Amino acid sequence: MKIPFLNLSPTNSNIGTELQRAFQEVLESNWYIQGAKLEAFEQEYAVFNKTTYCIGTSNGLDALHLALKALNIGRGDEVILPSNTYIATALAVSYVGATPIFVEPDSRTYNINPNEIENAISSRTKCIMPVHLYGQACQMDLISDIAKNYGLYIVEDNAQSQGASFKGRLTGGWGKVNGTSFYPGKNLGALGDAGAITTDDPDIDKFLRTMRNYGSTVKYHNEIIGFNKRLDELQAAFLSVKLKFLPKWIRERQQIASWYHEALHEIGDLILPYTLQGATHTYHLFVIRTNNRSKLQEHLEKNGIGTLIHYPIPPHLQEAYKDLGYKKGDFPIAEQLADTCLSLPIYPGLTQNDIEIIAKFIKSFFDKDKN
Ligand SMILES: *Cc1c(COP(=O)(O)O)cnc(C)c1O
């Protein structure tokens, strides 16, 4: 029996008829860029996220890049972000010419530690970018208070956490401008690249619609030096179909997580995901930690269980960022996470039986370890 790390069949093939109808509609419309499907999805996603506006983009990284652009963040500015995140968060900061300033995560939630943020603020700081990592909402109340006290913007990286909330308010709805990703493996995934920006600010909405479309609102009239970072009709149509299922899929992920929690209770040195009071967790990833990570991963691989590491190298130790001058030991919590984390399979369609099989192999690994 094989359990792959990710299987998109339950969220794509099983709704194939609806997706094919969406495809057919776009095909027959003969209109493939900036049309009715994009407009419809943007409205639906804004309603889902309880924000006034949603602007579709080509992918999540472009959404974050444009969000920072909209706030006029650039050369000489500093942006605070967690030291353990996917590289895209840092790249968006680099694209606008600003400097990423890393802040260590809380060692229980793996999300940026609000108590460490103030130490990182300087006269150049313009913005805080919280990342709701693995699907758990950050402590947005404390982060918002700090931002307000220091006059900083918040740009949420909501790529892993559509539908998560902190104290009842949805992620992607706290910051001035926020970015999310619909990469196929995300909780809401397109059938290709796609992303979106959410905001309540009408001027920013207008600016971003222009910016993503060659800096143009009237065809062949270019007001600013813009980009081509649009979300196409086909992906928008697929996303409209899939958005209706998202709440159900999130509940399935949460159910799978609770099966894992039951089955993996007190085994070896395993550390299981911890959800903070007030936060919800949409379980984009189910990340466990152990000091025996590579051997456990090997053992699971041998037994047909796919796992991945999110992420093996924190941004400050990436070759791409060597010019920032960081070295090993600068962000010990992020580095320890990178050395010990292991993501187990989690996606709609996994059964309790699947989780018990995975847990059985994890237990057998640690039992063997004892002898
Ligand atoms: C996936 C992801 C992104 C980037 O999204 P793309 O659509 O792949 O460009 C950004 N930040 C985080 C935290 C992500 O997980």
Which atom of ligand 1 is closest in space to residue 193's alpha carbon? 7
Residue 78, in any domain of the structure: yes
Distance separating alpha carbons of residues 100 and 324, to the nearest angstrom: 9
Q: Are residues 208 and 259 in the same domain?
A: no
Distance separating alpha carbons of residues 84 and 87, to the nearest angstrom: 9
Q: How far is the CA of 88 from the centre of ligand 1 (A)?
A: 6
Distance separating alpha carbons of residues 195 and 230, to the nearest angstrom: 9
Question: Which residue has its alpha carbon closest to ligand 1 atom 7?
Answer: 60
Residue 223, in any domain of the structure: yes
Rounded to 5 degrees, φ, ψ at 244 are -60, -30
Q: Are residues 221 and 287 in the same domain?
A: no
Torsion 105-178-75-317 (CA) sign: positive
Residue 170, in any domain of the structure: yes
Q: Are residues 180 and 254 in the same domain?
A: no
Q: Are residues 309 and 160 in the same domain?
A: no
CB contact at 8 A, 48 and 243: yes
Q: How far is the CA of 59 from the centre of ligand 1 (A)?
A: 8
Distance separating alpha carbons of residues 367 and 358, to the nearest angstrom: 14
Rounded to 5 degrees, φ, ψ at 3 are -120, 105
Which atom of ligand 1 is closest in space to residue 92's alpha carbon? 10
Q: Are residues 259 and 191 in the same domain?
A: no
Which atom of ligand 1 is closest in space to residue 186's alpha carbon? 1
Full domain range(s) for residue 220: 9-243
Which of 220, 243, 266 is the endpoint of a domain?
A: 243
Pocket test for ligand 1, best of 59, 86, 162 (most atoms within 8 A of CB): 86
Is 57 near ligand 1, meaning CB less than 6 Å away? no
Is 355 near ligand 1, meaning CB less than 6 Å away? no
Distance separating alpha carbons of residues 110 and 307, to the nearest angstrom: 19
Q: Are residues 193 and 272 in the same domain?
A: no
Residue 2, in any domain of the structure: no
Give the DSSP H/E element, type plus range, for residue 287: strand 286-289
Which of 243, 262, 295 is the endpoint of a domain?
A: 243
Distance separating alpha carbons of residues 184 and 45, to the nearest angstrom: 17
CATH number, domain containing residue 293:
3.90.1150.10
Distance separating alpha carbons of residues 226 and 213, to the nearest angstrom: 6
**pLDDT tens series, the chain, 371 aa:** 799 999 999 999 889 999 999 999 999 999 999 999 999 999 999 999 999 999 999 999 999 999 999 999 999 999 999 999 999 999 999 999 999 999 999 999 999 999 999 999 999 999 999 999 999 999 999 999 999 999 999 999 999 999 999 999 999 999 999 999 999 999 999 999 999 999 999 999 999 999 999 999 998 999 999 999 999 999 999 999 999 999 999 999 999 999 999 999 999 999 999 999 999 999 999 999 999 999 999 999 999 999 999 999 999 999 999 999 999 999 999 999 999 999 999 999 999 999 999 999 999 999 976 64
How confident is the model at residue 369, as a pLDDT? 60
Q: How far is the CA of 89 from the centre of ligand 1 (A)?
A: 7
Pocket test for ligand 1, best of 62, 134, 183 (most atoms within 8 A of CB): 183
Q: Are residues 58 and 79 in the same domain?
A: yes
Q: Are residues 184 and 70 in the same domain?
A: yes
Counting the structural domains of the chain, the total is 2
Pairing of strands 341-344, 286-289: antiparallel
Q: Is the pTM of this model over 0.95?
A: yes
Residue 342, in any domain of the structure: yes
How confident is the model at residue 371, as a pLDDT? 46
Residue 4, in any domain of the structure: no
Is 297 near ligand 1, meaning CB less than 6 Å away? no
Distance separating alpha carbons of residues 297 and 138, to the nearest angstrom: 28
Residue 3, in any domain of the structure: no
